[in-house]
Structure 1
Amino acid sequence: MRAAVCREYGPPDVVRVEEFPTPVPEAGQVAVRVHAAAVNFSDVLLVAGEYQIKVPPPFVPGSEFAGVVETVGEGVTGLAVGDRVFGSGIVGGFGEVAIGRAEGVTRTPDAISDDVAAAFGVAHRTSYHMLRSAAALAPGEHLVVLGAGGGVGLAAVQLGVALGATVTAVASSARKLEVAAANGATNLIDHRSTDLRAALKKTLPDGADVVIDPVGGDLAEPALRCLRWRGRFVTVGFAAGTIPRIPLNLVLLKGIQVTGMQLRDFGTHAPEEMRRNERELIELFAAGKVSPHIGATFAFEESAAALRYVADGHAIGKTVLRIAGNNGWG
């Protein structure tokens, strides 16, 4: 098969589209003929050898994909050859065929295109689990979303609104904030043109109930300071490249709850919540109440350019790689 292959750790330019052995599903797995794949910052880190999990080269990056089931492994029930599906894994999405665990592959709703399905899974699942379970967001609460122009951040804006919260979006450009506003954000803060701590205090004089932080770096502490008594701070990543040091005296004085959300382990530790959240989220998705914003689309041969686009911080919402030629409805 053709695939975008990383044969050595490095910048996005090390990835080349070439012939690569076609993977074969083992028991409990399915092989999917990929029509579209989403490009995430985690893919950039994996290629660089800087992700918390290291995958030895050579490997095919790509953690999200959508297409059609081509082969079903032994013991798989509930999925059949020809089913339109979307799924995720650590690697493998940037190839003509990807392998997915049967329990990690979901049928694509009829009205949803492959581009949209590929862009939906990781960001919206991460955001929904952290809002619904980690943050226990309630209707009427005030939610602050850092990195609101990125995939997880923009999904959190959209889902926060769907859950009845008033959302303050924090992002690095006017364009990213425009998209956040179009997805329901009420308050908009460009942290590169203003002092974030002062802006949050002015916007939310009584404080926020929840902060969602996929960025880390210098944004975490001023966002933490904006929380009201017993506010909840949820960390989900460090896109800024720096893990922040949290002043625990603030946590003490305000009774703040600091927690983390890692999608990979959530289902292992909270399977019942995982199943509940999945049902609710897919219902919202199928009904068209939430949908990923696709800010850019690249052709298969432009895999390295797509990774560079994300690495350089240009992505707004999700970036999609079209593996198949047509990529409409499967």
Structure 2
Amino acid sequence: MKAMVCERFGGPEVLALRDVPDPPPPAPDEIQVRIEARGVQYVDVLMLAGQYQFRPEPPFIPGGEAAGHVVAVGSAVRDFAVGDPVMSRHRLGAFAELGNAKAGLCDRVPDGLTMAQAGVFRGAYTTAYHALLQRGRMRAGEWVLVHGAAGGIGIAAIQMAKAFGAHVIATAGSDAKRAACLEEGADHAIDYRNGFVDQVKALTGGRGVDIVYDPIGDKVAEESLRCLAWGGRLLILGFLGGGPTSIRSNYLLIKGIDAVGVRIGGLNEADPALAAANMKALVALAEQGKLRPRISHSFRLDQAAEALQAVIDRRVIGKAVLLR
């Protein structure tokens, strides 16, 4: 089969299209998938650079989420059959034509999703669901401030918050990205680059928001503390802004704020049963038409380096996908 192989640590240029052996027959609890669509994530960028907490040594095939059709099933698998369309989760190996995956980490493609949408669904929506509903304890009628709102997990957060009755203020750095946020259901979309506290306070009648969904960190997280209402929750999802912030504990004390870490990989490791249940709930929401990935960029498998560079350059609105 053909696969994109990371041959040394570095940027997207370290990827090369290679002929590699097909994966072995699936283990008893696995299925084998002929992959037709693969999500491109910032995690992949970090993994190529050797900067992710899971650090495989080159050569390896990157890619953690995909969709395709089952071509073989393990002897203990009862929920899937050859020919089923599935969304699959891979520790590595999705940037290839074939991949093995644990059957318990796979789900049928929801009715109404294209194969491309299914290929980018899992990572973004499991993150938004776990962050907002479980770590953030979001309730209908609350105000949610979503940073990085035009990105993959940002668009997912907008749709998730609206599906459960929250009000959403999205932040993004260009007119096109703010327009996309409004199209996806955000009540307001604001430019955060010259400060956003006054804008947020004005939109909420001076009260502030109940939840900040923050994959940016750095100065954005620090300013976000001033946007939170009493009993608010700061959800810390990452540090795309250049690094973590030094959280001032006096803000947490005075306003009763919770600063909450969110790492979907940690949930998958610590409570796989909950992670699987979350995915079932997400499939149901997708089938109801409440969740739809937005894909701004589609590439061929052999263009994986270009896809990752588009993510790095922040040209992607929603998600980028690798097709066949």
Note whether the superposition's TM-score is higher than 0.5: yes
Give the aligned partner of residue 2 of structure 2. Answer: 2
Give the aligned partner of residue 285 of structure 2. Answer: 284
Give the aligned partner of residue 151 of structure 1. Answer: 152
Give the aligned partner of residue 173 of structure 2. Answer: 172
- Aligned partner of 1:15: which letter? L
The offset of 1:72, in angstroms, is 1.4
Deviations 1:13-49 (A, max 9, x none): 1101111222222231211100010101110110111
TM-score by length of structure 1 reads: 0.93
The offset of 1:270, in angstroms, is 4.5
State how 1:1-330 maps to structure 2 within 5 Å.
1-24=1-24, 25-192=26-193, 194-204=194-204, 205-270=206-271, 273-323=274-324
2-side partners of 1:40 and 1:210: how far apart? Answer: 24
Deviations 1:48-104 (A, max 9, x none): 111121011111111110001112123222111111101222321110011211111
2-side partners of 1:75 and 1:283: how far apart? Answer: 26
1-side partners of 2:149 and 2:86: how far apart? Answer: 28
Deviations 1:136-182 (A, max 9, x none): 11000000001001000110011101110000001121111111100
The offset of 1:233, in angstroms, is 1.0
- Aligned partner of 1:117: which letter? A
2-side partners of 1:3 and 1:276: how far apart? Answer: 31
2-side partners of 1:282 and 1:113: how far apart? Answer: 13
The offset of 1:268, in angstroms, is 4.8
The offset of 1:320, in angstroms, is 0.6
2-side partners of 1:57 and 1:74: how far apart? Answer: 31
The offset of 1:198, in angstroms, is 2.8
Asked if 2 retains the 8 angstrom alpha-carbon contact of 1:306 and 1:319, the reply is yes
Larger displacement relative to structure 2 (21-30 or 313-322): 21-30
CA RMSD, aligned part only?
A: 1.5
Asked if 2 retains the 8 angstrom alpha-carbon contact of 1:76 and 1:102, the reply is yes
Distance 1:228 1:311, change over 3 A: same
Instruction: Count the aligned residue pairs.
Output: 322
Asked if 2 retains the 8 angstrom alpha-carbon contact of 1:232 and 1:257, the reply is yes
Secondary structure at the aligned position of 2:120 is classed as: helix
Asked if 1 retains the 8 angstrom alpha-carbon contact of 2:71 and 2:82, the reply is yes
Distance 1:5 1:275, change over 3 A: closer
2-side partners of 1:285 and 1:107: how far apart? Answer: 12
The offset of 1:237, in angstroms, is 1.5
The offset of 1:247, in angstroms, is 0.8
- Aligned partner of 1:300: which letter? L
Distance 1:15 1:187, change over 3 A: same
TM-score by length of structure 2 reads: 0.95
Distance 1:22 1:241, change over 3 A: farther
Distance 1:309 1:163, change over 3 A: same
- Aligned partner of 1:137: which letter? M
Asked if 2 retains the 8 angstrom alpha-carbon contact of 1:72 and 1:81, the reply is yes
2-side partners of 1:311 and 1:252: how far apart? Answer: 36
Distance 1:271 1:31, change over 3 A: closer
- Aligned partner of 1:136: which letter? R
Asked if 1 retains the 8 angstrom alpha-carbon contact of 2:113 and 2:292, the reply is no
Distance 1:105 1:160, change over 3 A: same
- Aligned partner of 1:126: which letter? T
Asked if 2 retains the 8 angstrom alpha-carbon contact of 1:13 and 1:308, the reply is no
Distance 1:48 1:268, change over 3 A: closer
Asked if 1 retains the 8 angstrom alpha-carbon contact of 2:104 and 2:276, the reply is no
Larger displacement relative to structure 2 (120-129 or 105-114): 105-114
2-side partners of 1:27 and 1:286: how far apart? Answer: 29
The offset of 1:105, in angstroms, is 0.6
Identical-pair percentage: 38
Asked if 2 retains the 8 angstrom alpha-carbon contact of 1:17 and 1:303, the reply is no
Larger displacement relative to structure 2 (274-283 or 142-151): 274-283
Secondary structure at the aligned position of 1:140 is classed as: coil
Gaps of 5+ in 1: 324-330
